[in-house]
């Protein structure tokens, strides 16, 4: 059974690996795809990431084919259709893996162990194995043959966006890493960089990280602010509005599309800009609520981070894997039965500004979640760049999925690992906020502040603005968004 790799490392090295994260400069990619030119790239799995990364790599002049399990080919499953209809060569592991110079493992986390165990013996001497998530290496302690190079290239967006941005002539922010225990020829970095160029990622910004930093920050972000907080927030806000007599259709719509709208402001200008969208009295209200929420929820964030760092989370989750996902499937079914999930968005017009004005509590929840996740990650030794990407940066992406089809869509889009963590968070957070929610009225969720008087105390406003702007997530955020804008040059 698994052997947590991180826990085998001495503390000194754990800290060093956690702190790895560097924003790479564009001129580090001047070799383009050269390191992969003429090499044979074989992708395992043809889901959204597998297919779309493969399309990009091929359009960048690289030789890409797909390997699927024999059953998937024989039964002409969706993955087989995806690959063949796009004109790729498809073959079994036995047919293609021995010919591969680079094997791109783009299967779901859960399948990593059996997949890697199946392909490793077939791999050519000195070939490269690439991951897009380090769970298998870090949490399951998968041991890779010494002659193989192990790298990670992880576009920080859903597969469809990886493709769409490439076709536009751009790319998506991408994280790369080399597993130092498996870099026998010292070519890991060159391969990872060429891979990032092949998917267009270099145009949008590349973070050089480590397997460990990627896993520990990714798990933390997805469980807490990204999915957990949005799920808990959706359920609580909906129930409160209905309880206070607000039309259920309106409440459903305000939440379903509200997360997307308010986090759009977050994407452009951080927490500061998101709160700047509120009137002064509403901003102060949201600030106060979020301070309260942070005090209540901080122990929960700490617990999630601790369980992730020491491997408790992955151990417990893997027990559920072994138990045919009993918990996961049960929780998924429970979510589908919640009133928010079952109430369709009403046919009412809600203006962009109204989502802010009537969703003060939602703004407060996003602020509290982003800041707590960031603070907890950096306190655990994860460097600010990683913590930013895994909290604030990805929140709008997840919010978009809720806008499409509510929590069902969110949980269907994210990995099973993220979904499992999301339910854990939700179960713990709901009771934690019971008392807090008792005090909540429609002025902060559903109707907006009643008073027409928008006057505020100067000193208090200055204090709140200063606190917002001086938070560390805002400092690193403005630097990284600046890099992005430099690269994007959308004038």
Partner 1 sequence: MNSIKIENYTAEFGESFILKNINWTLEPEQHWVITGTNGSGKSALSAILAGAGEKIEGTITGLPGHIEIVSFEAQAELIERELKKDDADIMDVISEGTPVREILEEGKAIYPEFDSKLLNELVAMFKLEHMLDRSFRKLSTGETRKIMLIRALANNPDMIILDEPFDGLDADSMQLLHNLLASKVDAISMVLVLNRFDEMPEFITHVAYTDKGELHHTVDINDKQAYDDLYQLLHLKTTDLSVPPTDESDRPPAINPEDPLVRLTDINVAYGDSKVIQGLNWSIKPGQHWQLSGPNGSGKTCLLNLITGDHPQCYTNNIFVFGMQRGNGETIWQIKQYIGYVSTALQWEYRVSISLRNVIISGFHDSIGMYTKSTDKQKEVADQWLDLLGMKDRANEPYNQLSFGDQRLLLIARAMVKHPTLLILDEPCLGLDDINRQLVLALIEKICASGDTTVLYVNHHAEDQISGIKEYKQLEKLSAE
**Residues 232, 297: Cα–Cα separation, whole Å:** 12
The DSSP symbol for 227 reads: I
State which residue, 86 or 415, has the beta carbon closest to partner 1. Answer: 86
Single residue of 168, 185, 326, 460 touching partner 1 by CB under 8 A: 168
State which residue, 459 or 490, has the beta carbon closest to partner 1. Answer: 490
Strands 90-91 and 102-105: unpaired
Single residue of 7, 28, 61, 299 touching partner 1 by CB under 8 A: 61
Which residues lie closer than 8 Å to 321 by C-beta, 6 or more apart? 110
Applying CB under 8 A, does 489 fall inside the site for partner 1?
yes
CB of 489 to partner 1, least distance (A): 6
Which residues lie closer than 8 Å to 12 by C-beta, 6 or more apart? none
State which residue, 326 or 488, has the beta carbon closest to partner 1. Answer: 488
State which residue, 83 or 266, has the beta carbon closest to partner 1. Answer: 83
Applying CB under 8 A, does 485 fall inside the site for partner 1?
no
Give the per-residue contact string, 86-125, with partner 1 (x = CB under 8 A; - = no): xxx-------------------------------------
Single residue of 133, 179, 203, 481 touching partner 1 by CB under 8 A: 203
Strands 21-23 and 206-209: antiparallel
Which helix (H) or strand (E) is 40 found in, with range? strand 40-44
Give the per-residue contact string, 443-462, with partner 1 (x = CB under 8 A; - = no): --------------------
Give the per-residue contact string, 63-82, with partner 1 (x = CB under 8 A; - = no): x-----------------x-
CB of 59 to partner 1, least distance (A): 4
Token pair, residue 178, equals 């080399």
**Which of these segments, 7-15, 162-170, 283-291, 333-341, binds partner 1 (CB under 8 A)?**
162-170
State which residue, 4 or 86, has the beta carbon closest to partner 1. Answer: 86
How would you class 247 by CB atoms within 10 Å of its CB: exposed for 0-12, middle for 13-18, buried for 19 or more?
Answer: middle
**Which of these segments, 61-69, 107-115, 400-408, 434-442, binds partner 1 (CB under 8 A)?**
61-69
DSSP string, 348-415: ----HHHHHHT-HHHHHHHHHHHHHHHHHHHHTT--HHHHHIIIIITHHHHHHHHHHHHHHHHHHHS-
State which residue, 81 or 405, has the beta carbon closest to partner 1. Answer: 81
Query: By the 8 A CB rule, do 327 and 246 touch?
Result: no
CA distances from 332 to 39, 109, 222, 324, 407 (A): 42, 18, 16, 14, 10
Single residue of 10, 169, 186, 245 touching partner 1 by CB under 8 A: 169
Supply φ then ψ for residue 440, to 5 degrees. -80, 135
CB of 85 to partner 1, least distance (A): 6
CB of 355 to partner 1, least distance (A): 20
Applying CB under 8 A, does 273 fall inside the site for partner 1?
no
CB of 389 to partner 1, least distance (A): 20
**Residues 46, 50: Cα–Cα separation, whole Å:** 5
**Residues 437, 483: Cα–Cα separation, whole Å:** 39
**Residues 86, 10: Cα–Cα separation, whole Å:** 47
Residues 21-60 close enough to bind partner 1 by CB under 8 A: 37-38, 55, 58-60
Q: Is 133 a catalytic residue?
A: yes
Query: By the 8 A CB rule, do 207 and 224 touch?
Result: no
112, 133, 202, 304: the active-site residue: 133
State which residue, 12 or 489, has the beta carbon closest to partner 1. Answer: 489
The residues annotated as belonging to the active site are 133
Binding site for partner 1 (CB under 8 A): 37-38, 55, 58-63, 81, 85-88, 167-170, 203, 487-491
């Amino acid at each position: 059974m698994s052997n947590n790799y991180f826990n085998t490392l001495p503390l000194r090295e754990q800290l060093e690996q956690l702190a790895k994260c560097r924003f790479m400069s564009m001129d580090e990619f001047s070799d383009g795809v050269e390191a992969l030119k003429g090499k044979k790239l074989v992708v395992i799995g043809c889901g959204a990431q597998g297919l779309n990364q493969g399309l990009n790599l091929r359009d960048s002049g690289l030789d890409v084919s797909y390997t699927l399990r024999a059953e998937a080919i024989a039964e002409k499953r969706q993955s087989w259709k995806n690959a063949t209809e796009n004109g790729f060569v498809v073959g079994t592991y036995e047919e293609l893996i021995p010919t591969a110079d680079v094997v791109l493992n783009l299967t779901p986390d859960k399948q990593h162990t059996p997949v890697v165990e199946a392909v490793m013996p077939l791999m050519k001497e000195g070939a490269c194995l690439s991951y897009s998530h380090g769970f298998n290496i870090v949490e399951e302690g998968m041991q890779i043959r010494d002659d193989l190079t192990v790298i990670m290239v992880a576009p920080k967006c859903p597969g469809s966006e990886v493709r769409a941005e490439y076709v536009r002539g751009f790319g998506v922010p991408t994280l790369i890493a080399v597993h130092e225990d498996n870099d026998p020829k010292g070519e890991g970095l060159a391969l990872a960089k060429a891979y990032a160029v092949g998917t267009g990622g270099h145009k949008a910004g590349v973070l050089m990280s480590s397997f460990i930093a990627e896993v520990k920050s990714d798990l933390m972000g997805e469980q807490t602010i990204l999915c957990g907080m949005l799920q808990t927030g959706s359920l609580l806000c909906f129930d409160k509005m209905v309880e206070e007599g607000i039309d259920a259709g309106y409440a459903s719509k305000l939440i379903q599309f509200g997360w997307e709208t308010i986090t759009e402001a977050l994407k452009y200008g951080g927490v500061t800009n998101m709160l700047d969208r509120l009137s002064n009295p509403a901003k102060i209200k949201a600030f106060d609520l979020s301070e309260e929420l942070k005090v209540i929820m901080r122990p929960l964030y700490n617990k999630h981070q601790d369980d992730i760092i020491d491997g408790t989370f992955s151990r417990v989750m893997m027990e559920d894997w072994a138990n045919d996902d009993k918990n996961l499937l049960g929780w998924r079914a429970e979510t589908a039965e919640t009133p928010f999930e079952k109430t369709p968005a009403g046919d009412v017009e809600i203006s962009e500004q109204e989502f802010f004005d009537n969703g003060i509590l939602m703004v407060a929840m996003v602020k509290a979640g982003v800041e707590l996740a960031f603070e907890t990650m950096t306190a655990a030794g994860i460097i600010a760049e990683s913590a930013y990407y895994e909290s604030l940066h990805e929140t709008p992406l997840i919010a978009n999925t809720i806008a499409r089809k509510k929590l069902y869509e969110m949980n269907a889009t994210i990995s099973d690992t993220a979904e499992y963590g999301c339910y854990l968070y939700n179960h713990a957070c709901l009771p934690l906020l019971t008392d807090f929610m008792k005090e909540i009225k429609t002025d902060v969720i559903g109707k907006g502040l009643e008073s027409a008087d928008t006057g505020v105390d100067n000193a208090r406003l200055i204090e709140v603005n200063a606190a917002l702007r001086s938070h560390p997530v805002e400092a690193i955020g403005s630097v990284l968004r600046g890099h992005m804008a430099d690269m994007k040059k959308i004038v």
